[in-house]
Amino acid sequence: MSDLFLGAPQQEHHEAPPPSRRSRRDSQEQRAKQKKHRRRRSVVVLLLALVLVGGAGFVVWSVFGDLFSGGGSADETVQDYPGPGSGEVQVTVASGDTGGAIGQTLHDAGVVATVSAFTSAYAANPAAVGIQPGTYGLQLEMKASDAVAALLDPANRVSNRVTIPEGYTAKQIYQRVYEVTGITVEDLEAAAADPAAIGLPAEAGGNVEGWLFPMTYEVEPGSTAASVLSQMVARTTALLTGKGVAQDQWETVLNQASIVEREGKLDEDRAKIARAIDNRLAAEMPLQIDAINAYGLGIPGTELTYADTSQAQPPYNPYNSYKITGLPPTPIANPGEVSIDAVLNPADGPWLFWVTVNLDTGETKFAETFAEHQTYVDELREWQAANQ
């Protein structure tokens, strides 16, 4: 009965005994390790995620970065400067430089933004092929087309213009070059003493006198003494070659032309003087030209004295044209083209003498006899007395 009211007999429940202190400690350590492991795994996952995100960002920027920044670095984006430029820089165009080579030079100097900008402007300007070698003063950050135009403008060339007058001696030329360029006289003399360095022909016998052609030369910055003199020698040899002068006659022509240069006051008289010299040489007369004697003594003709020309006995100064027949040992100056032409094409006439009777106008009179010549000398003396 009691079972009916009390229900089915219940199973006995036995509570587990409380864990020991040691087992509780082991459980806590295990949970701590698991927690530490989970934390470490989370950190690794986070780092991997950051790497993946960073890598993806780099790829995206590499591919699409130009869309956001307007394209690359400043150097890459600027294809051509707007101009007009500022400041100043010197650039040198070498002989044989192509448009690309010039563009690279200008780009390296900061004149143009890119080589391609210059080559495009160069190709677009038909006159660009006429750009001459030389050193130019340009501005920084110029528009490429403006840079091409600037190189075509001779006013932008940076050089020293040295004008050598006809009739100058080598020493006078050295001084003139020094005054304009700063190349020392000593350096020029040393260069002249090395014939191979300046292209001096063997016919000159190692003496540069007469071979430094008188004209205006462009001397670029950085030019050497040898390069300056070699220009002058080359101009002389080219002129003689162009006129058909046999090479074994080069020195003789220059020698006689140098005398004509120093004696002639007016171009129209030079061919007559050349003929008078030929006539004296043919007659085996001493030339008796003061300019020759003065050159040999290294003094101006105005300082020449009777004692200088009338040496009593040998050995004579090799340039004493009063005692020695024939041409002097070397030219006495550097003749111009008119004097060279006069020697190659002397006027027809019997003259043996000439004298300038008016030092202001250069009027010169020619004579066949010494007596006639003396009348013209008297005319000179009268002019001098009236014009002291």
Does residue 170 lie in a domain region? yes
| pLDDT tens, residue by residue, 95-136 | 788 889 999 999 999 999 999 999 999 999 999 898 888 788
> What is the C-alpha separation between 258 and 319, in angstroms, rounded?
14
Average pLDDT across the chain, whole number? 83
Does residue 64 lie in a domain region? no
pLDDT band at 36 (very low <50, low <70, confident <90, very high): low
| Same domain assignment for residues 251 and 378 | yes
Domain that holds residue 202: 160-242
Question: Do residues 202 and 215 lie in contact, with contact meaning Cβ atoms separated by under 8 Å?
Answer: no
| Same domain assignment for residues 330 and 379 | yes
> What is the C-alpha separation between 223 and 281, in angstroms, rounded?
42
Question: Do residues 347 and 272 lie in contact, with contact meaning Cβ atoms separated by under 8 Å?
Answer: yes
pLDDT of residue 300: 84
pLDDT of residue 334: 97
pLDDT above 70 covers a percentage of the chain that reads 79
| Same domain assignment for residues 260 and 351 | yes
Neighbours of 304 (CB within 10 A): 15
DSSP-derived letter for residue 114 is -
Rounded mean pLDDT, 296-307:
83
Does residue 72 lie in a domain region? no
| Same domain assignment for residues 236 and 252 | no
Higher pLDDT, residue 102 or 160: 102
Q: Is the pLDDT of residue 365 over 50?
A: yes
Q: Is the pLDDT of residue 350 over 80?
A: yes
pLDDT of residue 2: 38
Last residue of a domain, one of 126, 156, 186: 156
| Same domain assignment for residues 256 and 302 | yes
Minimum mean pLDDT range among 56-70, 84-98, 171-185: 56-70
| Same domain assignment for residues 191 and 304 | no
Higher pLDDT, residue 249 or 91: 249
Closest CA to 210 of 247, 256, 174, 176: 256
pLDDT of residue 37: 56
| Same domain assignment for residues 133 and 238 | no
Q: Is the pLDDT of residue 330 over 90?
A: yes
Q: Is the pLDDT of residue 70 over 50?
A: no
Q: Is the pLDDT of residue 282 over 90?
A: yes
pLDDT of residue 231: 95
Closest CA to 229 of 134, 159, 298, 164: 164
Higher pLDDT, residue 225 or 156: 225
Neighbours of 355 (CB within 10 A): 18
Both structure tokens of 239: 């002129």
pLDDT band at 73 (very low <50, low <70, confident <90, very high): very low
Question: Do residues 355 and 377 lie in contact, with contact meaning Cβ atoms separated by under 8 Å?
Answer: yes
Give the CATH number, domain containing residue 106: 3.30.1490.480
Q: Is the pLDDT of residue 27 over 70?
A: no
Q: Is the pLDDT of residue 344 over 90?
A: yes
Q: Is the pLDDT of residue 220 over 50?
A: yes
Does residue 41 lie in a domain region? no
Q: Which helix (H) or strand (E) covers residue 21, if one does?
A: helix 21-69
Q: Is the pLDDT of residue 38 over 90?
A: no
pLDDT of residue 6: 37
Question: Do residues 173 and 233 lie in contact, with contact meaning Cβ atoms separated by under 8 Å?
Answer: no
Does residue 74 lie in a domain region? no
> What is the C-alpha separation between 310 and 375, in angstroms, rounded?
23
| Same domain assignment for residues 152 and 207 | no
Long-range CB pairs of 114-118, under 8 A, 24+ apart, other chains included? 114/78, 114/79, 114/80, 116/79, 117/79, 117/80, 117/144, 118/144, 118/147, 118/148
| φ/ψ (deg, to 5) at 205 | 65, 25
Does residue 53 lie in a domain region? no
Does residue 187 lie in a domain region? yes
Rounded mean pLDDT, 302-307:
80
| Same domain assignment for residues 257 and 142 | no
Neighbour-count burial for 234-267, b at 16+ CB within 10 Å, e otherwise: ebbbebbeeeebeeeebbebbbbbbbbbbbbbee
| Same domain assignment for residues 258 and 353 | yes
> What is the C-alpha separation between 304 and 295, in angstroms, rounded?
10
| pLDDT tens, residue by residue, 83-92 | 888 888 888 8
| Same domain assignment for residues 115 and 175 | no
> What is the C-alpha separation between 219 and 35, in angstroms, rounded?
87
Rounded mean pLDDT, 223-228:
93
Does residue 194 lie in a domain region? yes
Last residue of a domain, one of 156, 185, 218: 156
Total domain count, the chain: 3
| Same domain assignment for residues 257 and 378 | yes
Higher pLDDT, residue 256 or 1: 256
Last residue of a domain, one of 222, 242, 262: 242
To 5 degrees, how large is the angle CA 89–CA 93–CA 99? Answer: 110
